[in-house]
Structure 1
Amino acid sequence: MTQVVTIALAADGRSWVDGTELKTASDGTLASARAIALEEVRRLAQKRRRPVRVDATDPDGARWLFLVDADGQVHEPEAAPLLPDDPDAYEVPAEHREAVAEVIAAIAGGQGREHVAIKAARQMEEDLAARHGQGHPYVLRALELRAHAVYVCGMPSIGCELYLDAAEGWRLLGSPAQRDALQRAYALWHRIDDEPSAGTVWLGQRLVDALRQGGPQAQSAIRAVLAQIDRLRLE
């Protein structure tokens, strides 16, 4: 359900969002108060990663209803059904479905096409970052797709590292998707046995550090990784 945020404005440049007074406009005008309040609502929408409904009241009692999406764009209330309410990007947006399908087809195609998938996923990351900003859920999903393509190409250590990068991005967003990315990183790290690497121990320690952020439920996974690190150090 789209959340509702209230704005109250005063003619002397003061404004409130959800009852909290914001800084007073330096020029003391209603227009500046409105801009300050709108900027705060944009910040809230971006933090929550989902659209918010806005119920704004002017000093004369006039009400203004509109929507602010997770990218900070303002929409009419009727646009609500058209805006994505998927802060963790579990659903592929319509405009990206064709590109995602091509990457998945390349991964499944075999015969060296996995490298095509890696390149396409990387390009998708860059395009999405340019459009939505680095760290956006769409960018993190593209990163995870590249991690899977890298693993299929026979490079589990790099895939693990990419999933850890994605997990850190989800952590910064406060998203439950962090746990899924950590589980995939954990699974790939245990498949590095046939890919000796001087960085395997370092990567394992990075995985442990990330898992420690998962709370008590991650303790068994942490112990398993630490045991494997000890075995690798003895070899």
Structure 2
Amino acid sequence: MPVVTDLDSVPLTPVYTIVISTTGEATIDGEQVEHLPGQDARTAALADIRVRAARRGHPVRINAKEPDGSVWPLIVDHDGAVTPLDAPHPAALPAAPSPLREERAAPLDPHHAAVLGRVVAAELRGDLAAAAEAAEELETLLAADLGPLHPHTLGALATRAWLSLLQRNDWAAATRLHLLTAERRHQAGAPDTETRRAARNAHAAWDRLRTLDPASAEALRPELGRVAHLTA
């Protein structure tokens, strides 16, 4: 999976702490993580962190503590991308409240969170079609309630786009979803790193489409050109 390359774009707080016990259980900030039958503790903990990243609309920082006491600083995004760091997370300096930061950090309301939970549950059990359907429902709800450029809505759209890549059965749709993600992130003034990643994923999906269906790919070429400047 792709990783975060612009570490400075990731907020310094919060930093979640995952602890894996010697018995194979996991906690996040001291709270027990429930996992599905046959699912290991690390996978369950990272799935939980992915939900938190999606709710915030940006990657989040974690410290993963192993049973032997070793601690690994990581950055985790909503799509499951995990970026290991070679140094501890930098300490956050006190700062005046920022309206944008508070908006991004606001949790989903219970109704939206329930739909997001369905997205994650479906993906974890391998039902990507159901996950994509729930992600589209979530994006529609968030767009109606918060607007299409709200961080939560952008996170849901990015999740839909990522799921379209995972399904590997409709490269035209995957191209369009990543195009839309890149364009809306750019309009919203979202971090450049994630916007570039969406634009590059659009090109990757289009390259695959060009191999399988040159005519459909050619029809999408003008749309692809709209985000060419975002890939640099």
Give the TM interval when normalised to the shorter protein.
0.3 to 0.5
Flag the structure with larger Rg: 1
TM-score, normalization by structure 1:
0.47
Higher normalized contact order (CA 8 Å, seq sep 6+, divided by chain length): 2
